[in-house]
Structure 1
Amino acid sequence: MSKGVTTITDAEFETEVLKAEQPVLVYFWASWCGPCQLMSPLMNLAANTYSDRLKVVKIEVDPNPVTVKQYQVEGVPALRLIHGDKILASTEGVIGKDKLISLLDMHLNSN
């Protein structure tokens, strides 16, 4: 059973992402970002479909500048697939369901 998408802040990033046992899909978003609204259902899909081997978190860019800078987020929506301190994959801008599934399958099936 999936826990769904967890909302985190800069202060929680190390515990929730860097110290997680499984890979973490970090979704960077903003309340003023129209395209981000299109990505939200995909984040829920990823959280439910890959719940056995992936954690999905979302972090709002404006109140969390430390993480945004650290992961060089230049536009939203943005995704970073992170395992430990390593970035496995990175995207910026809206991506479709097929591209998201392909990206996750490529990295999660090799772990």
Structure 2
Amino acid sequence: MVKVVTDNDFAAETDQGVVLTDFWATWCGPCRMQSPVIEKLEGANDKVKFTKMDVDQNPETPKNFGIQAIPTLIVKKDGQVVEKLIGYHTKEQLEQTLAKYTD
């Protein structure tokens, strides 16, 4: 299950290892398309932690990262942002992106 994070626990949950965070909202169509892709990835990849954040309920973290469009996916490695992906991405695209930080 993809872990839901909030403004309060985002830093603690994403500061170690490789973490992909999906910034989304319930009203966003492309976000609803992205969610199942991330859930499939999570089931097949034990080198990456997968989290998601509802931008409507947690405005501070998206603001701090300059997120202006959703879905936006941020990949962090050991607490540093290494990749920022805007819009819908396929499973294959995300696998290629994550492989750069886990191999």
By the TM > 0.5 criterion, same fold?
A: yes
Q: Give distance in 1, aligned partners of 2:11 and 2:96.
A: 27
TM-score (norm 2): 0.93
Q: Give distance in 2, aligned partners of 1:86 and 1:15.
A: 13
Q: Give distance in 1, aligned partners of 2:5 and 2:48.
A: 16
- Percent identity over the alignment? 30
- How many angstroms does 1:102 deviate by? 0.9
Name the counterpart of 1:17.
14
**Pairing partner for 2:95 from 71, 91, 101:** 101
Q: Give distance in 1, aligned partners of 2:5 and 2:79.
A: 17
Q: Give distance in 2, aligned partners of 1:15 and 1:85.
A: 9
**Pairing partner for 1:88 from 82, 85, 93:** 82
For structure 1, the residue ranges without an aligned partner over 5 or more in a row are none
**Pairing partner for 1:63 from 57, 63, 66:** 57
Name the counterpart of 1:33.
28
Which amino acid in structure 2 is aligned with residue 27 of structure 1?
D
For structure 2, the residue ranges without an aligned partner over 5 or more in a row are none
Between the two proteins, the alignment pairs up a number of residues equal to: 103
TM-score (norm 1): 0.87
Q: Give distance in 2, aligned partners of 1:45 and 1:71.
A: 26
